[in-house]
Structure 1
Amino acid sequence: MPKIYYTIPLLLSLLFFRSDTQLPSGFVYVKDYIPNIHVELRYFCSDNFVGTHIDGYEAHTCILSKAATLALQKVQKELNKQNLGLKIYDAYRPQRAVDHFRRWAKDVNDTLMKQDYYPNVAKKDLFVLQYIATQSRHSSGSTVDVTIIDLKTQKELDMGSSYDFFGEISWVAYSKLTKKQLENRQMLQRVMLNNGFRNYPKEWWHFTLRGEPFYNHYFDFPIQ
């Protein structure tokens, strides 16, 4: 289980319900539709490749397009039959968060989290190698970063690499893994693709709804 560090204001915000901010039409709060889904938004805390809370994540609240949420609901129901479930690392991501990543990337001397997230990749190459983008599909509201957990132990299944690890070991086609790790990855790919999502070849956790409703529309409303 990763260590998650919260600042005092962020920790206090967890004590309260989300605000009643009106979401744009077509967006929903995921837990309203999938109450038993696990959420661990890494950009709301400091356990991420930047090493700090990311702009736009004002609450530990998961937002997606309604279409993506309904597809994810089907995935959750299928996994629940096997005493498994989804954990979400990231869903809708404001454009201001992507801009935060861009500012961070320009500071080549800030390598606080390099050993944990990109030990074999030069920071200056993260955009060139397409691990980070200037515009993210997440900002269109139908992309989600997920893994599978065992509902009995609440532990994540072993996928062979950690979330947001920038390297070949995280690629969907990477095969130098144990038999169990390969099986776990294949199960995640299968259940997501069979329920309307497509994958991103360089990140085993990253999926986008096919026929997403807001294609190439990059939203910037904060997560509240």
Structure 2
Amino acid sequence: MAPPPEPIVSPVLQKAVLDYDTTLWTELKAEDGYVIDIKYATKDNFVKEVIYPCGRMFLRPNVAVALAKVNADLLPKGYKLKLFDGYRPRPAQQKLWDKVPDRNYVAPPSEGSMHNRGVALDLTLADLQGKEIDMGTTYDFFGPRAHRDFQELPEQILKHRQLLRSAMEANGFQSIRTEWWHYSFTKGSYPLDDWQWACPD
């Protein structure tokens, strides 16, 4: 008589231990389909200093969901999003304000910005291989060429700026006049925050 078959044991699903409150934040990663390049975790930024202790990016959960829809809309067109900055703790905002105390470009820490609420982000387009698309200026360029409605640029650059803007606005984001790369989510309200993410050992 053959022995009874071994019982089928369902695999145990192990959830990764996360180091942040997922009811408040969502972390955006390259495996989510983005190109991640957190400029303020390097010296490659307008203050030429490291502002963040490490290059992680967070948004409020509903903002992250909306951004994923933007990325999904762009993929069939041959593009995806490259992300430079998202949630920014207020102490980091203070460092930027100390360098550029100009309300046209940096919000005063006493009032805070949409970045400090986790509902704003800085981004651009990349091709499907991750190569950054020319948008007419570098990120954090201060001057008229970076303004949303500046028209004295090659037609292809203007088309790329409009493509990004249309995709973002279709999913609940709005731009600002002086920075083609900056968008804020318009649905919902969140307080200013000082939370600082942990860095891997």
**TM-score strictly above 0.5:** yes
Secondary structure at the aligned position of 1:199 is classed as strand
Residue 73 of structure 2 corresponds to residue 78 of structure 1: yes
Q: How does 1:175-186 map to 2 (within 5 A)?
A: 175-186=151-162
Q: Identify unmatched segments of 5+ residues in structure 1.
A: 1-18, 106-125
The structure, 1 or 2, with the larger RCO (C-alpha pairs under 8 Å, 6+ apart) is 1
1:80 and 1:69 map into 2 onto residues whose CA distance is: 17
Count of aligned pairs between the two proteins? 180
User: Is 2:39–2:84's contact at 8 Å kept on the other side of the alignment?
Assistant: yes
Instruction: State the TM-score, normalizing by the size of structure 2.
Output: 0.83
Residues 175-202 of structure 1, C-alpha deviations (whole Å, 9 max, x = no match): 0000001001010100000111011111
Secondary structure at the aligned position of 2:29 is classed as helix
User: Is 1:91–1:142's contact at 8 Å kept on the other side of the alignment?
Assistant: yes
Secondary structure at the aligned position of 1:191 is classed as helix
Partner of 1:223: 197
Secondary structure at the aligned position of 2:157 is classed as helix
The match for 2:189 among 200, 209, 213 is 213
Secondary structure at the aligned position of 1:207 is classed as strand
1:131 and 1:219 map into 2 onto residues whose CA distance is: 20
Instruction: State the TM-score, normalizing by the size of structure 1.
Output: 0.75
Extract structure 1 runs of 4+ deviating beyond 2 A: 19-26, 102-105
Q: Partner amino acid for 2:102?
A: F
When structure 1 is superposed on structure 2, of 71-80 and 96-105 the one drifting more is 96-105
Partner of 2:21: 23
* Paired-residue identity, %: 30
Secondary structure at the aligned position of 1:172 is classed as coil
Partner of 2:173: 197
Larger radius of gyration: 2
User: Is 2:20–2:197's contact at 8 Å kept on the other side of the alignment?
Assistant: no
Deviation at 1:24, TM superposition (A): 6.8
Residue 124 of structure 2 corresponds to residue 147 of structure 1: yes
Alignment root-mean-square deviation, CA:
1.9
User: Is 1:93–1:139's contact at 8 Å kept on the other side of the alignment?
Assistant: yes
